Amino acid sequence: MDLGALVGELRRSTDTFGPLVRAQAERWPERVALKFEDEQVTYAGYATSVHRLAGALRRAGAERGMPVALLALNGPLFCTALGALAQLGAIGALVNTHLAGEGLAHVLRASGARLGLCDAHALPALADVHALHPVRFLAEAPAGTALPAGAAALGELLPDRPPTPDLPDVRGEDVFLYIYTSGTTGLPKPAVVRHLKFTMGGIGLSALLGIEEGETIYAPLPLYHGESLFVGFAPAFRAGGAFASRRHFSASTFLDDVRRHEAVAFVYVGELCRYLLRQPPTARDRDHRLRVAAGAGLRPDVWVAFQERFGVPRIVEMYGATEGNVALQNLGGPVGSVGRPHGLLEGQVALVRVDPVAGDLVRGPDGRAVACGPDEPGELLGRVGVAGAMEYDGYTDRTASERKLARDVFEPGDVWFRSGDLLRCDAGGWYWFVDRMGDTFRWKGENVATQEVADVLNGAPGVDETCVYGVAVPGEDGRAGMAALVTAPGAAFDPAALYAHAEHHLPRYAMPAFVRLVAAVEVTGTLKQRKHGLREEGWDASRVPEPLFVRDDAHRTYVRLDDAARAALAAGRLRL
């Protein structure tokens, strides 16, 4: 069966998560399904909890097609809610647990939810937003906990012995979840996730990762994010294995968790592995059963060092977007590559020339997009609406979904999803991430890809992590490069060494004009770097508490950005 036929079959299939909960409980009632810190839940226990929660939600008015907000840390409640919502045919709106105030009110408003589930951790944030967007939350909290306006105790609605529910006719094409964009540059948008995607993740990734019955996948990232759900929870449950996690990621306890849960696989984002490398080496770094790590964003400077130190034999780097229809996987390819599309999807993926600053596709005299050559950076596109192409569901906001589409790209009437990411494809067909288009800036008439510059600077002596962005300079066109640097533990910043390293590996226009030393780079709940605040503060000493440096090409170093250096910049004696 080809991929298009398989997708069509799964769209119509009732093989969704709701029935799977019941089937796995009947098949392996005493096998452990969930492991959260010191707590374990069997498949039978999980199914019972799912049925009870579904009963409580039904009493509260939940029904098929109704959005229900889910605001909880990783834990049994979160996973139980997924099963209960699936069995009701309702839609789970997965809310970032770090949000508060207007940001939280926005995502609740965007979900359309009037009913929600939460844990005790969420109660303080909910107390501040009820007046902005009222949602009736059912709270799992200790008895006697003071509840904010609009919240009710979940325990009062849970039936003691719920009957096995009649499952609605939920199909793969029905909407299962709203998963929000990370909000690194603006307000998060809810992306539509159908049961089909969750089912395919379970089937495909359990096989790809080689997960056997009874084995454990460890995913310490937030479950409101697609990485832990689709690469961790879905394949573990589908394979009849166990899903392990914790309420908050901890680099210092990572290996202890892996050993305790006897995990054979774990789910990462690239910065997670960087944080693990910062931990002091021990004699037990390779004392584990891990045989595969899977995720996205593992940069080349971390990849090799991570494997060498921790002895994880197999890395499966992937690329994808929750709202998109492009998926790449690196199965044994070169270190640092984000992979290739499935063989049956090669014709449904394209790289085209684009102005990364303006964001417009470059079109030829015939009005059509221009395909990139080997190793030429371009925007990654995914074909929409033809047989064999992956589904594009976009966001709940149809206008936002339409903005992600390009039409008449290669021929009249064709439609393509715009990823917003710059990649390049080498002569061997392997794709490499270059930058987010919103991050790339123009300086001295050249485009500067921030991620490529960061990768270079991460290899400089004494540098542990780099965040690169463009900043305005009075009297200059474009934006100059600036780097926020985290020095390695115990290392001092060496401005001359940084200059020499950058000069050796980068063209002059890509060398950072400014450097800011920071203790840590601010990240989202899913460990993506936040650049917006850094860009806004720029090199303004009145807003930046940390040391600032400016590039001095005459002396081939970076010097403190003091009043004298500012005067030299203003007078033109110090050229960028």
Name every residue whose Cβ is closer than 8 Å to that of residue 362 and which is 6 or more positions away in sequence.
352, 353, 354, 355, 369, 370
Q: How far apart are CA 482 and CA 510, in angstroms?
A: 10
pLDDT of 61 = 94
pLDDT of 1 = 52
Burial of 282 (0-12, 13-18, 19+ CB in 10 A): exposed
Token look-up 């494809």 returns 425
Question: Which pair of tokens denotes residue 412?
Answer: 């009249």
Span 440-493, pLDDT tens digits:
999 988 899 999 999 999 999 999 999 999 998 887 888 999 999 999 989 999
Contact 97, 73 (CB under 8 A): yes
Q: Which of 556, 533, 536, 558 is closest to 548 using CA atoms?
A: 558
Mean pLDDT of the region 17-45: 96
Residues 176-215: b if buried by 16+ CB within 10 A, e if exposed: bbbbbbbbbeeebbbbbbbbbbbbbbbbbbbebbebeeeb
pLDDT-based confidence at 427, cuts 50/70/90? very high
Name every residue whose Cβ is closer than 8 Å to that of residue 237 and which is 6 or more positions away in sequence.
17, 20, 24, 33, 202, 243
pLDDT of 375 = 96
Contact 481, 521 (CB under 8 A): no
- List the domains of the chain with CATH numbers: 3-320 (3.40.50.12780), 345-435 (2.30.38.10), 439-571 (3.30.300.30)
pLDDT-based confidence at 54, cuts 50/70/90? very high
pLDDT-based confidence at 341, cuts 50/70/90? very high
Contact 350, 373 (CB under 8 A): no
568 vs 380, residue with greater confidence: 380
pLDDT of 182 = 67
Residue 73: count other Cβ atoms within 10 Å of its Cβ: 20
Q: Are strands 415-425 and 431-436 parallel, antiparallel or unpaired?
A: antiparallel
Determine which of 41-50, 92-101, 564-573 has the lowest per-residue pLDDT on average: 564-573
Q: How far apart are CA 461 and CA 318, in angstroms?
A: 29
146 vs 283, residue with greater confidence: 283
High-pLDDT (> 90) share of the chain, %: 75
Span 149-203, pLDDT tens digits:
889 999 999 988 777 777 888 999 999 999 998 655 557 889 999 999 999 999 9
pLDDT of 150 = 85
Name every residue whose Cβ is closer than 8 Å to that of residue 110 and which is 6 or more positions away in sequence.
180, 188, 189, 190, 396, 397
Contact 271, 527 (CB under 8 A): yes
pLDDT-based confidence at 346, cuts 50/70/90? confident
Question: Which pair of tokens denotes residue 292?
Answer: 């595969």
Q: Which of 316, 363, 350, 324 is closest to 431 using CA atoms?
A: 350
Mean pLDDT of the chain: 92
Quote the pTM value: 0.88
